[in-house]
């Protein structure tokens, strides 16, 4: 440094200053890139935003595959491998099938699944809830709110879930508890038009949208807790 002229020293200093300044935004961009990559990886676990069930034209999924997937309750397994003979089976094994998309979203639950569902009669989906609640080594805490009229209706799977030990609550009015949403791990909401029935999942035009927006999740989480309290046996006997 001593061997340099004054001008050269200033040039060197200015250059170093410029390099520091230039490095700031570059570092910022690098950080943003890393954060974005991490977030998009996190989102990959919630693979689909909008699930559309597409009326009678939809090829039904293979029941063996969907039941096995529900029992396994794992988001990483390919449904096709669960069918005894996929090459001979004429049903859908596509992992893009809306029914599989829905099952995969639900099976991603790790800690909790709070379900607020007008009517629940799908054997696959009720089997999935049971499998999650009994998952080893860490069971998922599953709670279910449903409509009072649907609690014991023909084909309802809810009484079965209750007798298996799942906590179930329902309204006590003639109005409908008509929600069709669930909150997974307090960080993801699924909502839309779909009742968890055979006709809903295999026949109708329906939508389920998966949302991880913090404000939306918080709103649905609070609504679930509010209804869970409102429909508690204690609240009722206090009336």
Binding site for a second copy (CB under 8 A): 6-7, 10-11, 13-14, 17-18, 21-22, 24-25, 28, 49-50, 52, 55-56, 118, 171, 173-181, 191-194, 199-200, 203-207, 209, 211, 213, 215-216, 219-220, 223, 227
Which DSSP state fits 114?
Answer: E
Which lies closer to a second copy via its Cβ, residue 98 or residue 131?
98
Q: Of 93, 97, 179, 180, which is the active-site residue?
A: 180
> Among residues 54 and 74, whose Cβ is nearest to a second copy?
54
Shortest Å, Cβ 77 to a second copy: 25
Contacts for 169 with CB less than 8 Å, ≥ 6 apart: 143, 144, 145, 146, 227, 228, 231, 232
Smallest gap from residue 133 Cβ to a second copy (A): 24
Which of 69, 73, 97, 72 is closest to 83 using CA atoms?
A: 69
130 vs 151, which CB is nearer to a second copy? 151
CB of residue 189 vs a second copy: minimum separation in angstroms? 8
Question: For residues 97 and 179, which CB has a smaller minimum distance to a second copy in the complex?
Answer: 179
DSSP state of 85: -
Q: Which is nearer to a second copy, 32 or 74 (CB)?
A: 32
Question: Do 209 and 190 contact (CB within 8 A), yes or no?
Answer: yes
User: C-beta of 225: minimal distance to a second copy in Å?
Assistant: 12
For residue 194, give the nearest of 128, 92, 119, 105 by alpha carbon: 119
32, 78, 178, 213: the catalytic one is: 178
Closest among 176, 88, 74, 70 to 130, alpha carbons compared: 70
* Measured torsion, CA atoms of residues 154, 102, 207, 157, in degrees rounded to the nearest 10: 10
Q: How far apart are CA 22 and CA 190, in angstroms?
A: 44
Q: Is 215 a catalytic residue?
A: no
* Beta carbons within 10 angstroms of residue 127's beta carbon: 20
Least gap, CB of 45 to a second copy (angstroms): 17
Q: Could you give the C-alpha distances from 169 to 25, 118, 146, 159, 190, in angstroms and in order?
A: 54, 11, 6, 11, 19
Catalytic residues: 178, 180, 185
């Amino acid at each position: 440094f001593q061997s340099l002229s004054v001008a050269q020293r200033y040039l060197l200093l200015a250059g170093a200053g410029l390099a520091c300044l230039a490095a700031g935004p570059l570092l910022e961009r690098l950080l943003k890139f890393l954060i974005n990559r991490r977030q998009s990886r996190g989102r990959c676990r919630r693979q689909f935003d909008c699930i559309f069930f597409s009326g009678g034209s939809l090829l039904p999924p293979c029941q063996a595959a969907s039941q096995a997937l529900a029992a396994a309750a794992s988001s990483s397994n390919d449904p096709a491998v669960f069918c005894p003979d996929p090459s001979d089976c004429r049903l859908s094994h596509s992992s893009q099938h809306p029914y599989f998309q829905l099952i995969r979203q639900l099976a991603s639950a790790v800690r909790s699944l709070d379900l607020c569902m007008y009517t629940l009669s799908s054997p696959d989906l009720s089997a999935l809830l049971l499998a999650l609640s009994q998952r080893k080594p860490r069971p998922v805490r599953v709670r279910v709110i449903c409509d009072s009229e649907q609690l014991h209706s023909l084909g309802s799977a809810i009484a079965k879930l209750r007798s298996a030990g799942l906590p179930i609550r329902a309204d006590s009015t003639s109005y409908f508890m008509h929600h069709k949403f669930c909150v997974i791990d307090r960080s993801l909401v699924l909502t839309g038009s779909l009742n968890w029935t055979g006709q809903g999942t295999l026949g109708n035009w329906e939508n389920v949208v998966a949302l991880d927006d913090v404000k939306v999740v918080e709103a649905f989480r609070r609504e679930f807790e509010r209804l869970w309290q409102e429909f508690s046996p204690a609240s009722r006997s206090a009336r």
